[in-house]
Amino acid sequence: MKHLLGVALAALVPAQAFAAEQAPVIAVGEITSSIQQWDTENMQTAIETAISKTRKFKLMERSRLDALLAERGLSLSGITEGIDSLGGFGGVDYLLYGRLTQVGLERKSYFLYTKCEASLGLDIRTVDVGSGEIRFSESIRLSKDVATGGSDDDPCRGLPITSVEELSIDAAEEVAWKLTVSLFPIKVANVDGSRAFLNYGEPLLERGDYVRVVRIGEGFVDPDSGEVLGAEEVKAGILRVSDVRSRYSIANIMLVWENFGVGDVGHKVIGRKDVKAVQSELSACDKARKNEERRCRKSGSKCDEATAARSRACGM
């Protein structure tokens, strides 16, 4: 047994090394700011840190990026403004850059109290260096309560603008998450009975997360240009993450509408509203199963109706 485990681990290490070697190189360029006297260097560092944690990219050091640009007589500002071309630019696959568009503290009044809300806005783009195509574009808007007070107070008074700094970390993590899954979607790596293994681990997935699995149908094209416009997604199942490792996660299969397997795509359920929708689906299935169990103690039309209702609620 120990010998077999050793062989398995020996086979895994080169595979992981190969995956790391094949990972695309991304460089985090300049994050400019429309807010006077706001240093965006911390934001840039936070984005680099968040992207490195995804383990899906190799991160190019800033000094190396500056050297490559200098060799070709290019500048980040020229690239982001569309003046300089990325053609023939080697050593990096993706270039991320952005602009901080909003930083502020706002007093908000309620019936019995007031609160100070910090807000931050960030526009991000990622360019495929080889083609010059924009592969990812996102506007992120975040807010957070940083202080409260009485109905006549101004809890924002005296607070430094750096109170927004914590939102920079949240924004960086959201950038890393959305960028990564847009280029490398969550996928099913293996199915074993009532469990599914996903190709993402911490920090992008956490224990208790819900993941919707979809099967990607055939793509459809523009009849004039031949351009692939998209592909239909057929809902296949719902998973709930039960165990998270550094490179993968294990999830319990909660519902199955269509058989799914290796390579099928998963969408992490994000947002309170969407999580409640999933929980409602699971609750409806649980009730349908209990109803079927009760009605099918004897065969007959009521049992048939309950079985059909369970099939609609729970799938296969």
Q: How far apart are CA 148 and CA 118, in angstroms?
A: 12
Q: What angle do CA 254, 271, 202 make, to 5 degrees?
A: 70
105 shares its domain with 209: no
173 shares its domain with 208: no
How many domains is the chain built from? 3
Q: What is the pLDDT of residue 278?
A: 92
- How many beta carbons lie within 10 A of that of residue 112, not counting itself? 7
Q: How far apart are CA 118 and CA 107, in angstroms?
A: 9
162 shares its domain with 208: no
Closest CA to 35 of 91, 119, 145, 95: 119
- The CATH number assigned to the domain holding 100 equals 3.40.50.10610
Q: What is the pLDDT of residue 74?
A: 66
Q: What is the pLDDT of residue 298?
A: 87
Summarize pLDDT for 23-39 with one digit per residue, the tens.
888 989 888 888 776 77
Q: How far apart are CA 169 and CA 299, in angstroms?
A: 59
Q: What is the pLDDT of residue 133?
A: 81
Q: What is the pTM (predicted TM-score) of this model?
A: 0.70
User: Residue 227 belongs to what domain range?
Assistant: 186-270
282 shares its domain with 144: no
- The CATH number assigned to the domain holding 233 equals 2.40.10.410
Q: What is the pLDDT of residue 219?
A: 66
179 shares its domain with 212: no
Domain boundary among 155, 183, 211: 183
127 shares its domain with 169: yes
Q: What angle do CA 102, 103, 109 make, to 5 degrees?
A: 105
Domain for residue 203, yes or no? Answer: yes
72 shares its domain with 159: yes
Q: How far apart are CA 32 and CA 98, in angstroms?
A: 6
50 shares its domain with 144: yes
Q: What is the pLDDT of residue 6?
A: 40
Domain boundary among 183, 209, 240: 183
Summarize pLDDT for 289-307 with one digit per residue, the tens.
999 899 998 888 989 998 9
Q: What is the pLDDT of residue 244?
A: 94
Q: Which residue has the tokens 């190799």?
A: 58
Q: How far apart are CA 245 and CA 201, in angstroms?
A: 5
The number of C-alpha atoms within 13 Å of 275 and in the hemisphere containing its C-beta is 7
259 shares its domain with 231: yes
Domain for residue 13, yes or no? Answer: no
Q: How far apart are CA 175 and CA 122, in angstroms?
A: 9
Of all residues in the chain, what percent carry a pLDDT higher than 90? 37
Q: How far apart are CA 266 and CA 156, in angstroms?
A: 41
Domain for residue 114, yes or no? Answer: yes
The number of C-alpha atoms within 13 Å of 119 and in the hemisphere containing its C-beta is 12
Band (pLDDT 50/70/90 cuts) for residue 197 is: very high
Backbone angles phi, psi at 226, to 5 degrees: 80, 5
Summarize pLDDT for 259-284 with one digit per residue, the tens.
999 999 999 998 788 899 999 999 99
